[in-house]
Structure 1
Amino acid sequence: MHHRVWRYTGLWDLINLAAAAVVGTLLFATFVALAIDCPWIPRTVYAIDTIVVIVLLGGARALRRILYDWGNREPGRRVLIFGAGDAGELIVRDMMHNPDYGYSPVGFVDDDRMKVGRMIRGIRVLGTRAEMAAIISAHAPQEVLIAMPRMGPETISGIMRVLEPFGLPIKILPSLSSVLEGRVRVGDVRNVALEDLLCRRPVGLDPARLRGVIEGQSVLITGAGGSIGSELCRQISALKPRIMVMYERYENGLYSIEQELQDRNPGCRIAAVVGDVCDGARLEETFRKWDVKLVFHAAAHKHVPLMELNPCEAIKNNVRGTRVLAEVAARAPVDRLVLISTDKAVNPTSVMGASKRTAELVVKAIAEETGLKLGAVRFGNVLGSNGSVVPRFLEQIRAGGPVTVTDPAMRRFLMLIPEAVQLVLHAATLMKPGAIYLLEMGEPTRITDMARQLIQLSGLVPDRDIAIEYVGLRPGEKLCEETFAADEKVEPSGIPGILRVRGEKEPHRRSLLQRVDMLERAAAAGDADGTVRMLREIVPSFDGLGRQHEEGGPADAAASEPRATQSRPANGAAPSAPAGTQDRPANGAEPGVALLMEPLPSK
């Protein structure tokens, strides 16, 4: 008992003290009964003696602990803890033991009515979520800490809706595994991120399936410096490929991911190749040099409004680049090629979406002609990608607003980049010739809700501190994306979170490739109107209307009239071009440039 420090007395010290008192009393009673033989001593004396010893010795130690804790307690930021469970108790204990953190818990909030009014480490459970307004008014917390690691995104969103009117900073605890291992500390507390509100519960996927496809293989990733491409590189490098070839024309992005992976995974053999997917000779050289067997094609132009203004460039990169890559891969030949597609390819209203749908059809046609495992994986927007709306919203919030949203009804399917890439890799293990797979993305998210949540996560109140302004649809945008068309059907793929898309009507592959050749010729000649017309022939569901293709036309028109009053077709396309401007090249290319269609190997 004398080896214990009194100022850190706890429950285990009390248990040991009680055990020592009981053992001492039993030894004393035995001595009295056998050695002294005093039958006149009442048996209750032994019980009273045990209790007195525990109370006096335990009380002295507890008093020392109380004086120590009371002397170290300093007023800090008043924090209200949401969740009166194990995690809440752990975090309060750490706050009390470490006053340097600068937190002072004022109470708990928990939806379990049985806990209301109870106390945990001297901190009372003040009420439930429904009583939040009265609790905040009475106790004036400066922060709210969510200490419920088992809850899902829906619960976090519900809590944030309740807290929205108060404009309080919201923190959250780390993962459930940290709580179960007893490693929760105040230092682990972090701000709630948008990812906490969107990520879905992890799907139990078998990593052995991935290792069987990637381990020991030469893997090529196009667009390796981009958002999806770089995450593909990160996850593939951990699966022990023979070599990972990172193919990218933007040298800064390529250099960045190369340096990151050399530091993170020095055992992975990496080849950083600067090149364009439209350069067939460079691709041939790369495939031959590194004996590429697995390809992930993430290189693409993806910004919808920009591609509306530059349709020829969208075709050159998204269609011609995919076609050249698929032909080179077929001649190699590779074991598998996976095209990263988008939900904007379904019933597209934009040039970008129509170009990605054309790329899907090209890959499917070449796969059917060669019998190789070439296909596509389709999914929605990813948070944190280059050009994502989230960084734009955060910049506007930091600038004091307003946050600009296109339309109150705008919805998008959203995924996290690591989640999407993990499912893409698993879809690659399923790949069949010409197959299109679809990642399950849950319900679409209202962009307005996302903007309000970002404002709230910044410790501000929407519509009070930061205004939300609606500016109307941009060219090529639609209110809500779709995951599959009316003439397509989806079916389970055998892997949770991944569906197989089957088309009811598919164009004949030879006639398709001939029209794609004409499309590429129009794009190379800078014929923007001809490019859009050919896109409509290849993708009949493309309902984009006439556009201005003269350089600077749409931007100048937008600047000459108020944004909210511009006249625009219902699908968000820009007004048609004035007479006499349709034949001008949009990208300054010289007309008459022909593209070489090389023969494909027979099946």
Structure 2
Amino acid sequence: MEIRISRNLYIILTIDVILLLLSFYVAHLIRFDFMIPEWALEKFFNMLPYVLVVKTFCFYFFDLYRGMWRYTSLNDLLNVVKASTIAELIVIVIVLYVNRFQDVSRSVFIIDWCLTLIFIAALRVLTRIIFEQFTENISFQDLKEIILNIFKIRSKNSRGVIIIGAGDCGEKICREIREDASLKYHVDGFLDDDLSKIGRKIHGISVLDKIEGLSHAIKSTESKEAIIAIPSLKVEKMRQIVNICREADIIFKTVPSMGELINGKVTINLIRDVEYRDLLGRDPVDLEKEKIGQYLGKKKVIVTGGGGSIG
């Protein structure tokens, strides 16, 4: 587990050491009702070097200094839990071996473990949020949008959308809209025909009603657009939803079908207008226009039947 020594690593280590020291000290404050007696304070300073060394070593062992904080994931947070737990157990064993917990409060270690998890995990999550929101090329307008989004204030330049479909696809679209201030959108609500979802929330945004309640949802939220976020939608249901959107007189778009998604990932960039192929139930026929033109020449033809047969 080789780690490249850099200025950033020194900064990370320094911050972690400060947080670990703060965690251990606050644990003593909480344990002794914010009035630490002299004997407990003396024990605090005696144990502090062991605590810092052991925890730093465990953080290193569990690769907490190899990952990039801007991409902090659930796996990284699990490593924080593992490293903190094992480090705390090692410290307890050391204290037990040295003085058999004489004049040492056992509850301090439990409190310290909880605070360590909170401080270390919160720092990494906060770093990721900052990097996701504040990019190098961020403009003043983007910064304004981010601040408004944090405090749930809608910008005048932001267009409200209703997401039809409160599933995985709808959640991904909602999350991307919330995280990318440059999109100039805000999600007003979800619609879904699953009655168990109505009234529940996704990223703090409510599932308002069934899909057929689109008109009422638009009136109550003053949304400008609707996004059909159900890739597995059957043709009959797609036609029904399209008719509901037209009756509501709202701009509507859709995500590609599952057949069009190569890797199964849906992003805001894949959203497009509803096309005839979405309503056909089959792939559109690609006619060989040049050959047909050569065969028909300048003849007049009549197209009859819904299947488009030529007679």
Provide the C-alpha distance between the structure 1 equivalents of 2:177 and 2:222, rounded to a whole number of angstroms: 18
> 2:196 aligns to what SS in structure 1?
helix
In the alignment, which residue of structure 2 is the partner of 1:381?
308
Alignment of 1:464-543 (within 5 A): none
AA paired with 1:52? L
Gap change, CA 1:92 and 1:10, over 3 Å in 2: farther
Is the contact made by 1:81 and 1:108 (CA closer than 8 Å) also made in structure 2?
Answer: yes
In the alignment, which residue of structure 2 is the partner of 1:284?
none
> 1:107 aligns to what SS in structure 2?
strand
How much has 1:17 moved relative to structure 2? 2.2
- Aligned-residue Cα RMSD (Å) equals 3.7
Alignment of 1:123-138 (within 5 A): 123-138=205-220
Gap change, CA 1:25 and 1:227, over 3 Å in 2: closer
Alignment partner for residue 153 of structure 1, among 231, 235, 247?
Answer: 235
AA paired with 2:184? G
> 2:287 aligns to what SS in structure 1?
helix
In the alignment, which residue of structure 1 is the partner of 2:197?
115
Provide the C-alpha distance between the structure 2 equivalents of 1:249 and 1:179, rounded to a whole number of angstroms: 34
In the alignment, which residue of structure 2 is the partner of 1:21?
84
Report whether the alignment pairs 1:104 with 2:31. no
Provide the C-alpha distance between the structure 2 equivalents of 1:88 and 1:198, rounded to a whole number of angstroms: 23
Q: Give the number of the structure whose alpha-carbon radius of gyration is greater.
A: 1
Structure number with the higher helix fraction is 2
How much has 1:173 moved relative to structure 2? 0.8
In the alignment, which residue of structure 2 is the partner of 1:416?
none
AA paired with 2:122? G
> 2:161 aligns to what SS in structure 1?
strand
> 2:187 aligns to what SS in structure 1?
strand
Structure number with the higher strand fraction is 1
Provide the C-alpha distance between the structure 2 equivalents of 1:35 and 1:49, rounded to a whole number of angstroms: 19
Alignment partner for residue 87 of structure 1, among 153, 166, 169?
Answer: 169
Alignment of 1:166-181 (within 5 A): 166-176=248-258, 181=263
Is the contact made by 2:256 and 2:270 (CA closer than 8 Å) also made in structure 1?
Answer: yes
Provide the C-alpha distance between the structure 2 equivalents of 1:30 and 1:179, rounded to a whole number of angstroms: 54
Identity %: 29
CA deviation profile, 1:549-600 (whole Å, cap 9, x unmatched): xxxxxxxxxxxxxxxxxxxxxxxxxxxxxxxxxxxxxxxxxxxxxxxxxxxx
> 1:228 aligns to what SS in structure 2?
coil
Report whether the alignment pairs 1:59 with 2:118. no
Provide the C-alpha distance between the structure 2 equivalents of 1:111 and 1:187, rounded to a whole number of angstroms: 26
In the alignment, which residue of structure 2 is the partner of 1:48?
111
Provide the C-alpha distance between the structure 1 equivalents of 2:76 and 2:220, rounded to a whole number of angstroms: 37
How much has 1:43 moved relative to structure 2? 5.0
Alignment partner for residue 164 of structure 1, among 246, 249, 254?
Answer: 246
CA deviation profile, 1:272-296 (whole Å, cap 9, x unmatched): xxxx69xxxxxxxxxxxxxxxxxxx
Report whether the alignment pairs 1:197 with 2:124. no
CA deviation profile, 1:87-125 (whole Å, cap 9, x unmatched): 112222222333223322222111112222322233332
Gap change, CA 1:112 and 1:101, over 3 Å in 2: same
How much has 1:194 moved relative to structure 2? 1.8
How much has 1:150 moved relative to structure 2? 0.8
In the alignment, which residue of structure 1 is the partner of 2:74?
11
Is the contact made by 2:277 and 2:283 (CA closer than 8 Å) also made in structure 1?
Answer: no
Is the contact made by 1:95 and 1:104 (CA closer than 8 Å) also made in structure 2?
Answer: yes
Is the contact made by 1:178 and 1:184 (CA closer than 8 Å) also made in structure 2?
Answer: no
Provide the C-alpha distance between the structure 2 equivalents of 1:78 and 1:27, rounded to a whole number of angstroms: 53
Alignment partner for residue 302 of structure 2, among 301, 304, 314?
Answer: 304
Is the contact made by 2:162 and 2:187 (CA closer than 8 Å) also made in structure 1?
Answer: yes
How much has 1:193 moved relative to structure 2? 0.8
How much has 1:189 moved relative to structure 2? 0.8
AA paired with 1:54? L
Provide the C-alpha distance between the structure 1 equivalents of 2:196 and 2:291, rounded to a whole number of angstroms: 59
Is the contact made by 2:214 and 2:248 (CA closer than 8 Å) also made in structure 1?
Answer: no
AA paired with 1:98? D
In the alignment, which residue of structure 1 is the partner of 2:28?
none
Gap change, CA 1:129 and 1:177, over 3 Å in 2: same
AA paired with 1:85? G
How much has 1:201 moved relative to structure 2? 9.1
AA paired with 1:304? I
In the alignment, which residue of structure 2 is the partner of 1:229?
288
Provide the C-alpha distance between the structure 1 equivalents of 2:121 and 2:260, rounded to a whole number of angstroms: 32
TM-score by length of 1: 0.33
In the alignment, which residue of structure 1 is the partner of 2:58?
none
Gap change, CA 1:137 and 1:16, over 3 Å in 2: farther
CA deviation profile, 1:499-545 (whole Å, cap 9, x unmatched): xxxxxxxxxxxxxxxxxxxxxxxxxxxxxxxxxxxxxxxxxxxxxxx
Provide the C-alpha distance between the structure 2 equivalents of 1:44 and 1:178, rounded to a whole number of angstroms: 57
> 1:114 aligns to what SS in structure 2?
coil
AA paired with 1:381? G
Q: Count the aligned residue pairs.
A: 229
CA deviation profile, 1:205-242 (whole Å, cap 9, x unmatched): xxxxxxxxxxxxxxxxxxxxx96335xxxxxxxxxxxx
Provide the C-alpha distance between the structure 2 equivalents of 1:44 and 1:200, rounded to a whole number of angstroms: 67
Provide the C-alpha distance between the structure 2 equivalents of 1:156 and 1:248, rounded to a whole number of angstroms: 32
How much has 1:249 moved relative to structure 2? 6.1
Which runs of no fewer than 5 residues in structure 1 stay unpaired? Answer: 203-225, 231-245, 251-275, 278-298, 306-342, 345-378, 388-475, 477-603
Gap change, CA 1:39 and 1:154, over 3 Å in 2: farther
Alignment of 1:435-474 (within 5 A): none
How much has 1:154 moved relative to structure 2? 1.0
Which piece of structure 1 moves more, 179-188 or 50-59? 179-188
